[in-house]
């Protein structure tokens, strides 16, 4: 029978301060509960303390039997059980010392991130109270010195934990001070940026009489249905005019009116091709500003709109800029076309040339030449002085142009007689009033990442996370202006299209051979009711909103 050593007694007293070396008060209390018929408390004491203190079932039963019989062998068996408990405790203490010696002691104080990561993990495992970890490590330092087991490593680990918690570790302290300085600078920068943020003072905005007249309707119109008709007529052909929309928004914000809400209802109805009654009801909801319905008023609204709609000019789209001069330069050039060029233009436009005889083909060519010449002469009959100068210049350069062998197709002749320069000016003017990018078929230079670099002007790709975090907003905005059919109010077409485009961007972000046009995803988006010819407008809108 081995006796308890001084080291065993020291460790048992440290780990179990209430433990007695000559008797066990828990066993005595267990039998007292049994004698008082407090079986539940006796069972709880047995399961929580006695089983863990004496894990050997045979020894525990025999020990309790000796105690109940007042047998002298109880003290001998109790000493043996305490020796086994001391041995198990020493083994556990050595495992903890090994953990600190292998995990904390080898840390280099220059590696700040490693120290923070490891120390935080160990401290959280010891106790929620951070300062309790200091006493814990010092206790195991004393155990290591008593056991003479990795005493130096345990002392070093305890010093690192203590300095980390008390913030006396120089490298960690400097790192934290640097982080605090950065946070203070960032807060100061945000505060200054917030103060410098421009705020529109609507009271200083002045509108001209023409602008007010283009926005408002006469005050003599009192009936609600008449107001609906007047606003619809006024905004009908200007729904795609971005400059007018911005002016209208500022007017509504300054005076607190609902003109912009009425304009937006007309715009959405025209973009999504709503029925007339749906568009009128949307405008009515904004004009009335509350629940309003009248059967006679509804009939009057629909009948009057049918009559008024006949007077609207559907010839030119609203986005086209009107009022540009239309000189007859192209018509004058048509006179100087050679017979050979006219014959090639006729051959390109017909698909039945092989089935016709030679005589029929010559008749058609002669008839086409007569028509072109007649149109050119009638267009240049009354030229302006500037047009005369252009005609003289073209006449002087006619021999050179007649030598050209390049075929000119009939499709290259503008329908309205406008020059290519005028058409370019009109296209630029119409594009300048667009709020959002137009869906033009533009081929991506390489991958989505390269397009992001081109749009942002950066030669390195650092926007991937930011791009996929905020690009859904740009996708939704572009989809709202790319509808090709009316969408159901509770439908999920827009969400489906948004997910398809986002998945394509994420999958092909670094793919240099990706091609959106003609892809299955583009067809799926079109089936949902949206036409997206290019992904570059989405990327440009994202860059405009987030950079």
Measured from the Cβ of residue 401, the count of other Cβ atoms closer than 10 Å reads 14
pLDDT at 386: 40
* Mean pLDDT value of segment 180-195: 82
Measured from the Cβ of residue 2, the count of other Cβ atoms closer than 10 Å reads 11
Q: Which residue would you say has higher pLDDT here, 352 or 458?
A: 458
Question: CA 312: distance to chain centroid?
Answer: 41
- Highest average pLDDT, of 9-13, 212-216, 372-376, comes from 212-216
pLDDT digits (tens, 9 = 90+) for 102-121: 888 888 777 777 788 888 88
What burial class does residue 347 get, using C-beta atoms within 10 Å of its C-beta: 0-12 exposed, 13-18 middle, 19+ buried?
Answer: middle
Name the pTM for this structure. Answer: 0.32
Spatial distance between the Cα atoms of 499 and 476, rounded to a whole number of angstroms: 10
Q: How confident is the model at residue 308 (pLDDT cuts 50, 70, 90)?
A: confident
324 closest CA partner among 213, 428, 223, 237: 428
Q: Which residue would you say has higher pLDDT here, 457 or 331?
A: 457
Q: Does the pLDDT at position 125 exceed 50?
A: yes
- Identify the three-state secondary structure at position 338: coil
* Mean pLDDT value of segment 345-364: 45
Give the 3-state secondary structure of 152-176: HHHHHHHHHHHHHHCCCCHHHHHHH
CB burial readout 187-204, b (16+ within 10 A) else e: eeeeeeeeeeeeeeeeee
Cβ–Cβ < 8 Å for 519, 504: yes
Cβ–Cβ < 8 Å for 495, 476: no
Q: Does the pLDDT at position 198 exceed 80?
A: no
pLDDT at 475: 92
Q: Does the pLDDT at position 508 exceed 70?
A: yes
Cβ–Cβ < 8 Å for 165, 130: yes
Question: CA 415: distance to chain centroid?
Answer: 44
Q: Does the pLDDT at position 522 exceed 60?
A: yes
Helical segments of 166-274, H only: 170-196, 209-215, 224-235, 242-255, 259-271
CA distances from residue 112 to 19, 100, 162, 438 in whole angstroms, order as listed? 43, 18, 15, 52
Spatial distance between the Cα atoms of 535 and 544, rounded to a whole number of angstroms: 15
Spatial distance between the Cα atoms of 335 and 349, rounded to a whole number of angstroms: 20
Lowest mean pLDDT among 43-57, 134-148, 195-209: 195-209
* Mean pLDDT value of segment 149-165: 86
pLDDT at 409: 35
pLDDT at 399: 39
Residue 469 phi, psi dihedral angles, 5° rounding? -80, -35
pLDDT at 322: 40
Averaged pLDDT score across all residues of the chain: 74
Here the tokens at position 463 are 């926007």
pLDDT at 310: 84
Q: Which residue would you say has higher pLDDT here, 466 or 398?
A: 466
DSSP assignment of 391-457 equals HHHHHHTHHHHHT------GGGS-TT---HHHHHHHHHHHHHT-SS--------SS-HHHHHHHHHT
DSSP 4: P
pLDDT at 262: 92
Helical packing angle, 536-546 and 464-480, nearest 10°? 110
- Highest average pLDDT, of 211-220, 364-373, 454-463, comes from 211-220
pLDDT at 489: 66
Residue 440 phi, psi dihedral angles, 5° rounding? -100, 145
Q: Which residues are CB-neighbours of 326 under 8 A, at least 6 positions away?
A: 416, 417, 418, 422
pLDDT at 387: 38
Spatial distance between the Cα atoms of 401 and 405, rounded to a whole number of angstroms: 9
Name residue 64's beta-bridge partners: none
Contacts 24+ apart (CB under 8 A), 246-249: 247/207, 247/211, 247/215, 248/215
Measured from the Cβ of residue 150, the count of other Cβ atoms closer than 10 Å reads 18
Spatial distance between the Cα atoms of 420 and 372, rounded to a whole number of angstroms: 19
Q: How confident is the model at residue 127 (pLDDT cuts 50, 70, 90)?
A: confident
Spatial distance between the Cα atoms of 318 and 27, rounded to a whole number of angstroms: 98
Q: pLDDT > 90: what percent of the chain?
A: 11
- Bin 224: left if φ > 0, else alpha if -120 < ψ < 50, else beta: alpha
Spatial distance between the Cα atoms of 235 and 247, rounded to a whole number of angstroms: 13
């Amino acid at each position: 029978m081995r006796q308890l050593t001084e080291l065993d007694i020291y460790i048992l007293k440290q780990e179990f301060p209430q433990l007695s070396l000559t008797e066990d008060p828990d066993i005595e209390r267990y039998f007292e509960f049994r004698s008082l018929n407090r079986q539940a408390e006796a069972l709880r004491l047995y399961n929580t303390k006695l089983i863990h203190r004496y894990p050997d079932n045979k020894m525990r039963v025999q020990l309790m039997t000796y105690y109940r019989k007042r047998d002298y062998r109880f003290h001998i068996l109790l000493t043996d059980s305490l020796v086994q408990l001391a041995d198990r405790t020493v083994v556990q203490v050595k495992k903890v010392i090994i953990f600190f010696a292998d995990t904390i002691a080898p840390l280099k104080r220059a590696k700040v991130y490693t120290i923070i990561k490891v120390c935080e993990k160990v401290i959280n495992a010891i106790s929620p109270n951070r300062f309790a970890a200091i006493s814990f490590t010092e206790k195991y330092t004393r155990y290591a010195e008593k056991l003479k087991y990795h005493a130096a490593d345990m002392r070093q680990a305890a010093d690192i934990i203590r300095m980390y918690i008390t913030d006396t570790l120089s490298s960690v302290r400097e790192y934290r001070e640097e982080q605090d300085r950065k946070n203070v600078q960032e807060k100061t920068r945000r505060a200054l940026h917030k103060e410098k943020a421009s705020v529109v003072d609507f009271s200083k905005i002045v509108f001209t009489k023409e602008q007010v007249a283009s926005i408002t309707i006469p005050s003599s119109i009192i009936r609600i249905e008449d107001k609906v008709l007047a606003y619809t007529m006024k905004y009908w052909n200007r729904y795609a005019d971005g400059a007018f929309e911005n002016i209208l928004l500022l007017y509504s914000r300054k005076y607190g009116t609902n003109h912009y809400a009425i304009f937006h209802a007309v715009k959405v109805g025209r973009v999504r091709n709503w029925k007339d009654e749906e568009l009128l009801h949307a405008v009515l909801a904004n004009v009335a500003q509350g629940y309003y319905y009248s059967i006679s008023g509804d009939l009057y609204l629909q009948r009057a709109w049918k009559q008024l709609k006949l007077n609207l000019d559907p010839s030119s789209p609203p986005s086209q800029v009107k009022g540009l001069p239309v000189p007859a330069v192209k018509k004058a050039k048509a006179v100087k076309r050679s017979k050979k060029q006219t014959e090639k233009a006729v051959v390109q436009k017909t698909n039945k040339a092989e089935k016709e005889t030679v005589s029929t083909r010559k008749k058609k060519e002669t008839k086409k030449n007569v028509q072109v010449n007649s149109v050119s002469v009638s267009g240049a009959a009354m030229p302006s002085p500037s047009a005369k100068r252009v005609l003289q210049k073209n006449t002087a350069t006619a021999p050179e142009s007649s030598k050209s062998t390049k075929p000119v197709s009939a499709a290259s002749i503008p329908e309205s007689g406008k020059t290519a320069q005028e058409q370019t000016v009109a296209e630029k003017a119409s594009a300048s009033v667009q709020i959002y990018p137009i869906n033009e078929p533009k081929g991506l230079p390489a991958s989505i990442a390269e397009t992001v670099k081109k749009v942002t002007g950066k030669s390195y790709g650092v926007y991937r996370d930011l791009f996929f975090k905020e690009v859904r907003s740009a996708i939704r905005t572009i989809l709202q202006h790319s509808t090709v059919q009316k969408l159901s109010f509770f439908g999920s077409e827009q969400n489906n299209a948004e997910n398809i485009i986002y998945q394509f961007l994420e999958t092909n972000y670094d793919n240099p051979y990706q091609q959106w046009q003609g892809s299955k995803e583009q067809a799926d988006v079109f089936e949902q009711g949206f036409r997206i010819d290019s992904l570059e407008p989405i990327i440009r809108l994202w860059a405009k909103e987030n950079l």
